[in-house]
């Protein structure tokens, strides 16, 4: 997106974007305990299963956290990162500039049929996503999983890291997980991490990103958070979508990394 003709807006540079990405990682660590461990588990699967020159589809990439980690760890990998939030997209574009041609970022709405056309027929070996697909309603999630299954070759993998909340059938675990979340947030925010809304306020201090706020509000105005889908739903949806194997590769309380193989 470009500013209106006649305006003079200072472009977000790589240094400012990297700072916002670092602040995002700190902010997310308040909401996801042991967040680095989930990424370590994802990297282990990629290392042990995928080719060294793999192409990653970073689904709902946010400011580029997964792509940044994977491209740094796997020097022959490339990443195609997609998201629908214009502020996060612009941060990702600039933050991933250091990887030059190994990273590309696309504006994609996962709830619209045909979103995969942004890949322009590129091979995808692994689809990775983190703390994002819970924004999709169950029927939307199934459609996304079905599209991903079509994109991946035989043996290709999907890894989805997210909170998959305990329901009323596990009241003790649900209570423990809720108290643990509150404790981690209190400690992390006290140490200086931004809240989710405060991160967006910080991003909006940059003129280019402030100019995208109205567009972001417009895009998400009619998309309230859906009811959370259970782990069982994710696994069943992956199998229904055409994956040959589905399970988990990491768990800490109600935080999981869900795995599926095409």
Whether 219 is covered by a domain: the verdict is yes
Low-confidence ranges of the chain (pLDDT < 50): 1-6
Cα 67 off chain centre by? 9
- Choose among 42, 149, 57: nearest CA to 103: 57
Whether 105 is covered by a domain: the verdict is yes
Whether 7 is covered by a domain: the verdict is no
Whether 144 is covered by a domain: the verdict is no
Alpha carbon of 204 to those of 81, 91, 93, 241: distances in Å? 22, 11, 16, 39
Cα–Cα distance measured from residue 254 to residue 262, given in angstroms and rounded to the nearest whole number: 25
| Contacts (Cβ under 8 Å, ≥6 apart) of 21 | 63, 64, 65, 68, 91, 95
Cα–Cα distance measured from residue 212 to residue 2, given in angstroms and rounded to the nearest whole number: 9
CB of 246 closer than 8 Å to CB of 239 = yes
CATH number for 108: 3.40.50.150
- Choose among 201, 194, 239: nearest CA to 22: 194
Strands (E), the chain: 55-59, 78-83, 103-107, 126-130, 157-163, 245-252, 255-261
Whether 6 is covered by a domain: the verdict is no
Element (H, E) at 103: strand 103-107
**Structural domains counted in the chain:** 1
Residue span of the structural domain in which 172 resides: 14-137+149-261
Identify the DSSP state of 13: P
DSSP three-state, residue 215: helix
pTM listed for this prediction: 0.94
Whether 204 is covered by a domain: the verdict is yes
Whether 143 is covered by a domain: the verdict is no
pLDDT at 6: 46
The sign of the dihedral angle between the CA atoms of 242, 248, 249, 254 is positive
CB of 60 closer than 8 Å to CB of 40 = no
Whether 9 is covered by a domain: the verdict is no
Establish how many alpha carbons lie within 13 A of residue 248's alpha carbon, considering only the half-sphere containing its beta carbon.
Answer: 18
Structure tokens at 178: 């809720």
């Amino acid at each position: 997106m470009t500013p209106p003709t006649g305006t003079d807006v200072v472009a977000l540079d790589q240094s400012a974007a990297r700072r916002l990405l670092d602040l995002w990682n700190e902010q997310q660590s308040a909401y996801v305990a042991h967040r680095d461990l989930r990424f370590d588990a994802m990297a282990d699967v990629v290392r042990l299963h995928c080719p060294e020159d793999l192409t990653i589809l970073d689904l709902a990439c946010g400011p580029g956290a997964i792509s940044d980690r994977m491209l740094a760890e796997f020097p022959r990998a490339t990443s195609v990162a997609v998201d629908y939030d214009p502020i996060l997209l612009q941060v990702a574009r600039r933050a991933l500039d250091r990887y030059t041609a190994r990273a590309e970022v696309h504006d994609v709405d996962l709830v619209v049929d045909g979103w995969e056309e942004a890949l322009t027929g590129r091979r995808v070996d692994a689809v990775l996503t983190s703390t994002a697909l819970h924004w999709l309603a169950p029927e939307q999630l199934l459609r996304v999983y079905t599209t991903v299954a079509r994109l991946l070759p035989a043996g290709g993998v999907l890894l989805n890291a997210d909170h998959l909340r305990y329901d009323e059938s596990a009241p003790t675990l649900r209570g423990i997980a809720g108290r643990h979340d509150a404790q981690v947030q209190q400690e992390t925010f006290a140490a200086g991490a931004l809240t989710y809304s405060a991160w967006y306020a910080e991003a909006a201090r940059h003129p280019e990103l402030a100019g995208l706020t109205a567009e972001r509000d417009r895009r998400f105005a009619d998309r309230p958070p859906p009811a959370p889908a259970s782990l069982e739903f994710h696994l069943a949806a992956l199998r229904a979508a055409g994956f040959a194997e589905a399970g988990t590769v990491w768990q800490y309380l109600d935080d999981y990394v869900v795995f599926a193989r095409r």
